[in-house]
Chain A
Amino acid sequence: MQHNTLNYDKDIENLIFRLVSHLNSDYAFSKRSVATMLLQEDEEIWELVKQNDGSNYNEIRAMINEFKKNTSESVLYQISRTQQEESKKILQKVMTVDKNSGSKLAKIVNKLTINPITGIPLLLLVLYYGFYQFVGVFGAGTMVDFIETNIFDEMINPYINQFVNGLIPWKVVSDLFVNDYGIITLGIKYAIAIVLPVVGCFFLMFSIIEDSGYLPRISMLMDRVFKKIGLNGRAVIPMTLGFGCDTMATMVSRTLETKRERVISTFLLALAIPCSAQLGVILALLSGKPMAMAVWLVFMVLIFMLIGYLTSKVIPGEKAGFYMELPPLRMPKLSNVLKKTYVRMYWYFKEVLPLFILASVLIWVGNITGLFEVLVRYTVPVVNMIGLPDKTAEIFLFGFFRRDFGAAGLFDMQSSGVLNGRQLVVAAATLTLFVPCVAQFTMMIKERGWKTALAMCAFIFPFAFAAGYLLNKVLVLWGINLG
């Protein structure tokens, strides 16, 4: 295979040649590339050279400094220019530009998406139809209803309950698999009937938006708002992904430039961004009560902005500037969208199913030993304090295992009509704010370290209940009837 190497200016080529001779270690890529990146002052590469060729480090530094002193134009620009000219030449060989073909429509659509006057209503429409109607109403409503009621409750569960109870005569043992909290009748049912359709719908929607090139446009529109909370438009991507899965989003927040942004976004993801399963269930819960939905939405946005603003004042560090390429808008390719959705759902499911099963097992152990009852008893006064009935204590404990698990439990309760509108809103808001699930907490430790992760939880835990308490008090005092 023939490699095309770029030819830089003669002096630069000489310097690269001398630099290469000072690089003795093996790098994952060619020494010529290492030398070029050193010249461009790539900090990571400098660090790598320091580690691998430490003995020559000072000499390399001196060579480059000496060279820079004697050139009129910055080496970075000379290299960038050569690279760009070369890529233009390649492009000319393989691409013809037709100035008239469809570019006009593309230009108009592009302008509509980036101009705030049209772009913000458009963004709201995308959010309304894409997330509320598709993920919330269709995914968490229609699909969950069908799979949970028609398939599990009517077809699978009675049959399995009967079968397992007949097979295992000891109720203590059969409870592990079936009945109220069994692995099959609770863990697997929640995973397949509630979480799978919601998360599937979200990832499908996210993949379509991602492949259309729309995400950077949201970043651009939201940059100013995000600057108020110590982030910038770049954080739109992990934040939006958080509405799918906060665990995944916490991992993605590593793409943010400064440590400060990574800490703030991790914190906000843990506190105020509901994951898709949670969101889907909450939207379905509140969908018949527009006032309740509005109260929840306004409350969450207020908390997000207020806590974001305060956090940005408290956490030191420099602000990162915002610059981002806006790729051309394209019609997403169905095969790519489906593949992405599948891969994300696979990742999610591999992660979620064992935890759902583990939660079922832990609840089983807790029930046998009486530990669960004790925990519920301690949680009851707390949920009562925020105006919720005793039974919700269980849900908050479930929520500790997985956010969606708790939300799914809430959904079950709502179906039996135990909660009124105000209680639903308070429960939904507290559960949204409440601790990140076990998986997200694990990811927080992995990405941000023990201290930061624990400190965040130490704040979130009491804060969620305090906020719920306040919300309940305000709703009661103002006598707002939420149905």
Chain B
Amino acid sequence: MEQKSKNISVNIPLTMLKAGQEAKIVTVKTEDNQKLRKLAAFGIFPGTEIQVIQCYPSIVIQAGFTQIALDSEIASEIIVNLNN
């Protein structure tokens, strides 16, 4: 959580990334514990480095060896920090 305040300017929702861009997950903005838990099981939690593979019809990201498809609602709750 403390990472959030470090450089707030480049923290953006995952939905704003383009295919090929890399980023680091900063936070997952949801109150839904089940969702958080399941996403965490895929490795989606703060600190994970991801790369966007595709944006439409679903957002597909690569996290480690895992490829995950997400709809845009969930992707918009995942806040990432762009690696420049």
Q: What residues of chain A have their CB less than 8 Å away from a CB belonging to chain B?
A: 40-43, 72-74, 76-77, 80-81, 84, 88, 110-111, 114-116, 216, 219-221, 223-224, 227, 232-233, 321-328
Contact = CB atoms under 8 A, between A and B. Distances in A.
Contacts of B37: 40-42, 76
Given A80-B45, A81-B45, A116-B56, A324 B40 contact: no
Chain B interface size band reads: 20 to 34
Given A223-B58, A223-B71, A322-B70, 8 more contacts: A41-B33, A76-B45, A77-B45, A84-B43, A219-B69, A233-B71, A321-B70, A323-B39
A131 B2 CA distance: 53
B61 to A, nearest CB: 10
B84 interface: no
Contacts, number: 89
B47 to A, nearest CB: 7
A86 to B, nearest CB: 13
B69 A326 contact: yes
A323 B67 contact: no
Contacts of B39: 323
B13 to A, nearest CB: 14
Contacts of A41: 33-34, 37
A321 B69 contact: no
B1 interface: yes
A120 to B, nearest CB: 9
Contact of A216 (B2, B36, B57, B69): B69
A73 B67 CA distance: 26
A325 B67 contact: yes
B55 to A, nearest CB: 10
Contact of B69 (A40, A43, A74, A324): A324
Majority secondary structure of chain A interface residues (helix, strand, loop or mixed): helix
Contacts of A216: 69
23 contacts: A40-B37, A42-B37, A43-B33, A72-B2, A73-B46, A76-B37, A80-B41, A81-B47, A111-B53, A111-B54, A114-B60, A220-B60, A220-B69, A221-B57, A221-B58, A224-B57, A232-B71, A233-B69, A233-B71, A323-B42, A324-B69, A326-B60, A327-B67
A39 B79 CA distance: 24
Interface string B61-84: 000101111110110000000000
Interface string B1-14: 11000000000000
Contacts of B29: none
B71 A321 contact: yes
A72 B1 contact: yes
Contacts of B42: 323, 325
B18 interface: no
Nearest to B46: A77
Contacts of B69: 114, 216, 219-220, 223, 233, 322-326
A325 B66 contact: yes
